[in-house]
């Protein structure tokens, strides 16, 4: 998933690389960050603690709301217990990428 964005269009939708911040005080997308290894990640913070999958579910809800799609369309595909996670969103990949870019904070 190299490139300028932490997402890539795949045949059935969009694949996202997310850096999770559990217990982050609010549920929000904080923008894009480039890690030391050069890979960009979408920064997502959620209020809940990373216990029993609660943070993963909360991140899925933040992504679902931002992209305007049903919860069943957003799946965690990698990194369930890691800070860097991969999510797959089913739908029109190009439209999803445009929606995600539109909801990113300025700057």
Q: What is the reported pLDDT for 2? A: 41
Calpha distance 84→71 (Å, rounded): 20
Calpha distance 59→102 (Å, rounded): 18
Q: What is the reported pLDDT for 1? A: 42
The CATH number fitting domain 7-103, selected from 3.40.50.970, 1.10.10.10, 3.40.50.720, 3.30.1200.10: 3.30.1200.10
Select the more confidently predicted residue: 26 or 3: 26
Task: Kindly report, residue by residue over 41-98, the tens digit of the pLDDT.
Answer: 999 999 999 898 999 999 999 999 999 999 899 999 999 999 999 999 999 999 999 9
Task: Kindly report, residue by residue over 7-42, the tens digit of the pLDDT.
Answer: 999 999 999 999 999 999 999 999 999 999 999 999
């Amino acid at each position: 998933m190299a490139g300028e964005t932490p997402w890539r269009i795949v045949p059935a939708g969009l694949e996202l690389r997310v850096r999770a911040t559990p217990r982050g005080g609010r549920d929000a997308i904080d923008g894009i960050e480039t890690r030391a290894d050069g890979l960009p990640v979408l920064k997502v913070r959620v209020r809940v603690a990373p216990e029993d999958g609660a943070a993963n579910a909360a991140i899925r809800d933040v992504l679902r709301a931002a992209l305007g799609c049903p919860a069943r369309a957003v799946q965690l595909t990698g990194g369930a217990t890691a800070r860097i996670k991969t999510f797959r969103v089913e739908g029109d990949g190009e439209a999803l990428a445009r929606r995600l870019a539109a909801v990113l904070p300025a700057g």
